[in-house]
Structure 1
Amino acid sequence: MPFIHKSFYFLRHGETDWNKQQRIMGQSDIPLNKNGVLQAKTVAEKIQVLPIDAIVTSPLKRAYATAEIIGNKIRQPVFIENDLQEFCWGVMEGKVKGDCSYKDTPFEPEKWWKQGIVPTGAEAFSEFVSRAVKATNYHLPLYQSILFVAHGGIIMAILAAISKPPQRVDNTALFHFTPPDLGKTSWDVNIIN
């Protein structure tokens, strides 16, 4: 499913204790830590200069709190979109990334996704990408300029959908996706902060 031909922003939530501990969060509802709140406040200051007229967020606490801090700062509404939840890792959630494996294969998300490895209780990557694209496309025609606040996995799904290689997605990394010019096929992706 292609994206609607319109630019948009995507922001990863602020830091959580599980981020610091290198734990696989997935859809576990872990809140921001003190540093994550500070990160959200800092990025809210920077976002003030962007022409954002709506914020659409994952319902998970870490994303919603980040979106709420930004929405309060820039005085724009925040809407929840359930399909922007992080990738469901099933039995892998809560495990430390460097110390775990599934069926003797070390935890390497991109490699697992390419090989079709789906841990017990997890979702397939193709379904995850479809979910992310559908949620994004639903909201794009509703507002002039949208900021989506979600998760690193969602941003990687968006990159996969536009045939861009995966990138490291730091907490509060802000991505700007710009559709291709007429006659071209490649989206531009810029990290703003």
Structure 2
Amino acid sequence: MRLFVVRHGQTVWNSENRVCGITDSPLTNKGITQAKELSQSIKDRPIDVILSSPLSRALQTAEIIACSIEKEIIIDDRLTEQNYGCYEGVDRDNVDFKEAKKHFPFRLAGGESLLQLGQRVYNLLDEIKKTYSNQNVLVVTHGGVSRVINAYFTDQNNEDFYRFHIENCAIKEYNY
């Protein structure tokens, strides 16, 4: 079984370098183009199931891919990006935001902690392993969720975890 992980296409807030957690920032024209290009590059991969975050930027990316490979999309709320609380919409280079992200158990004011995000994503990955044990699964999600998925498959220290980044419409493959 293989797991393919895709981060959604570029959003308005990505282009403005703003923190975009559960806020539903739409795809830009570039983001739509990225999704179309990705859909063409992966249409020959053996994908049996598509799971997507319900946020429009991920779902729209998943829909573009699904048209290319003729698969249904299963929406799973556990693929929603971390709720960054009071940091939603701030500049990604905000010093307080960068510091808060390093404290995994810290529940961001009005949001959720990285440990809470990790729990829901790890539970989903365990479920995917059981439910789709003989199938290849494509997950369309977000940068923070992708970081947690990478940690599920890769031993790393806190600094490695913090530095991991997946570009918009990039795809990463893992073997169960």
Pairwise TM-score range, normalised by the shorter structure: 0.7 to 0.9
- Structure number, greater radius of gyration: 1
Structure 1 match to 2:122? 133
Structure 2 match to 1:31? 26
Tell me how far apart the structure 2 counterparts of residues 138 and 119 of structure 1 sit (CA, whole Å): 27
1:147 aligns with 2:141: no
Tell me how far apart the structure 2 counterparts of residues 31 and 69 of structure 1 sit (CA, whole Å): 14
Structure 1 residue runs without a partner (length 5+): 1-5, 180-193
Displacement of 1:136 in angstroms is 2.6
Matching residue's letter, 1:120: A
Secondary structure of the residue aligned to 1:27 is coil
**Equivalent of 2:87, from 79, 86, 92?**
92
Secondary structure of the residue aligned to 1:10 is strand
- Does the CA contact (< 8 Å) of 2:100 and 2:108 recur in 1? no
Secondary structure of the residue aligned to 1:107 is helix
TM-score (norm 1): 0.81
Q: How many residues align?
A: 168
Tell me how far apart the structure 2 counterparts of residues 141 and 76 of structure 1 sit (CA, whole Å): 20
Instruction: Give deviations 1:1-59, integer Å, cap 9, x for gaps.
Output: xxxxx431110000001001110001101111111000000000011121001100000
Instruction: Give deviations 1:96-150, integer Å, cap 9, x for gaps.
Output: 112x34xxx452465233xx43321121211211101112332344441110000
Bigger relative contact order, structure 1 or 2, given CA contacts below 8 A and separation 6+?
2
The more displaced of 149-158 and 165-174 is 165-174
Structure 2 residue runs without a partner (length 5+): none
Structure in which a larger fraction of residues adopt helix = 2
**Equivalent of 2:69, from 57, 74, 91?**
74
Structure 2 match to 1:118? 107
Tell me how far apart the structure 1 counterparts of residues 60 and 141 of structure 2 sit (CA, whole Å): 11
Quote the RMSD (CA, aligned, Å).
1.7
Tell me how far apart the structure 1 counterparts of residues 67 and 99 of structure 2 sit (CA, whole Å): 37
TM-score (norm 2): 0.88
- Does the CA contact (< 8 Å) of 1:57 and 1:67 recur in 2? yes
